[in-house]
Amino acid sequence: MSLEVLKPSITKIVGLGIAQILLWGGSYFILSVLAEPIMKDTGWSYQMVYGSLSLSLLISGLLLPRIGRIIGTHEKNIVLPYAGVVMALGLVVLGLSEQFPVFLLGWVIMGVAMGMGLYDALFATLGKNYGKATSKVIVQITLISSLAPTISWSLVSLLLSNYGWRTSCFIYAAILLVTIFPIHRFALPSAENKITKQPQLSNKGAVLNEPFRSNIFYLLLISFTIGAVLTTGVIIHLIDILLDKKMTMATIVGIVAFLGPSQAGVRVVELLFSRNEPVKTAVISAVVTLLGILLFLLDPTVAILGVILFGMGNGMRSILRGTLPLAIFGQEGYAVAVGKLARVPLIAQALTPFVSGFLIQQFSISVFLYSFCALAFINIMLNILILKVAHQQNESSSDVLLKVPINS
């Protein structure tokens, strides 16, 4: 008898997307609005304020393997629902901070919350709960959460203009407290409601013996790390890159506005039309990302196309963070795989602003872009190699299955 595949309703998918918007907005994106008023109010430097975010990302990366293991080994969903509570605590500490060590403590707490509630923990939870439906669910949720910068920046800006940065932190903390826990309790199936067992995803591409010490795991780890560096470096310096082209700020703002829609647009295309295997999509994403960065080196008239292509590559990359490990390792052990694959990329992401800033300050924007083009090219080669290894493992697994005797 075939097993029924558990699928979330549209309402639950929308709920999880909204939760991601609020969690991203209350952590990763919040300094885009609050950094300047924080620096003016406290006298803390740019490096001190944004260094706190880097520390938060570092803590998140260090914790994720453990968080992935907890998600994978516990039947109940004990991580995601409480991410909002921990993040709210961090925001309250930020709002109360008069001394920098207290501000830093707030970001330490936020790092724990980011590990508990952002994409990597979400993908691990979805893989555990939804089996074969996971890939499509990931695309749907990331499509909704691509609105996170736009919505969260607007919300935090509104709070800031009316209440100041400290009270904005308190109000946002209250929003998280009253929304995140009930959304996750509603949207994620409880252990007692899992009446039908999820059919295991095909493990043809999985390495059965010690999968997290296999060649394909390390290839994925390096590829994900390079992808995180490329995304962080280009996005945080995008305005500097365009200013180097002697553009006016009004023109730059208009060009940068294409980044979000291009990320969302490629996710719509992926949802509606794509039938590619994730390993093939990874190669396409790497190629498109390189093309986008290359265009930044050319005439300013093609800068819009560069932003669009880079946004498309990054939009695909966000989806691949969840679907590629699922395709290669299968559902069993997926939560652990996501956690292990997230640690090094997040650490690299935390260090990227310092390294990329050094390249720009000591050399030039052009040297920075040429360096990132080299990284993007290496990533293409890595993903082609991942594609080759994955197909070899599929063939090996098929040969093994053909040799297994069938007992009548």
Q: How many domains does the chain have?
A: 2
Q: What's the CA gap between 94 and 101, in Å, rounded?
A: 10
DSSP secondary structure of 62-120: HHHHHHHHHHHH-SS--SGGGHHHHHHHHHHHHHH-SSHHHHHHHHHHHHHHHHHHSHH
Instruction: Judge if 182 and 219 occupy the same domain.
Output: no
- Burial state string for 337-352 with b = 16 or more CB within 10 A and e = fewer than 16: bbbbbbbbbbbbbbeb
**Secondary structure letter of residue 204 according to DSSP:** T
Token code pair at residue 347: 């650490």
Distance CA 104, CA 102 (A): 5
Phi/psi zone of residue 210: left (φ > 0), alpha (ψ -120 to 50 degrees), beta? Answer: left
Domain range for 135: 10-188
Q: What is the CATH number of the domain that holds 371?
A: 1.20.1250.20
In this structure, the dihedral spanned by the alpha carbons of residues 307, 310, 315 and 321, taken in order and rounded to 10 degrees, is -150
pTM (2 d.p.): 0.77
Instruction: Specify if 1 maps to a domain.
Output: no
Question: pLDDT value at position 72?
Answer: 79
Check if the beta carbon of residue 328 is closer than 8 Å to that of residue 216: yes
- φ/ψ of 38, rounded to 5, equals -65, -45
Residues 6+ apart with CB under 8 A from 157: 33
Q: Say what the pLDDT of residue 267 is.
A: 74
Q: Is the pLDDT of residue 398 over 70?
A: no
Does residue 167 share a domain with residue 229? no
140 and 267 inside one domain: no
Q: Does residue 201 form part of some domain?
A: no
Place of tokens 């969260």: 152
Same domain, 99 and 163: yes
Quick check: is 408 in a domain?
no
Final residue of a structural domain among 188, 219, 254: 188
Same domain for 391 and 345? yes
The SS3 assignment for 103 reads helix
Instruction: Based on the fold, state whether residues 237 and 174 are members of the same structural domain.
Output: no
Per residue in 138-185, pLDDT (tens digit) is 888 888 887 787 788 789 889 998 999 999 999 999 999 999 999 999
Stretch (H or E) spanning 283:
helix 278-296
Q: Are residues 173 and 217 in the same domain?
A: no
The count of other CB atoms within 10 Å of the CB of residue 279 is 24
* Boundary residue ending a domain (188, 219, 252): 188
Query: Averaged over 259-265, what is the pLDDT?
Result: 77
pLDDT of 23-43, one tens digit each? 998 998 888 788 889 999 999
The verdict on 149 and 223 lying in the same domain is no
For the record, the structure tokens of 146 come out as 């691509």
**Greater model confidence, 193 or 132:** 132
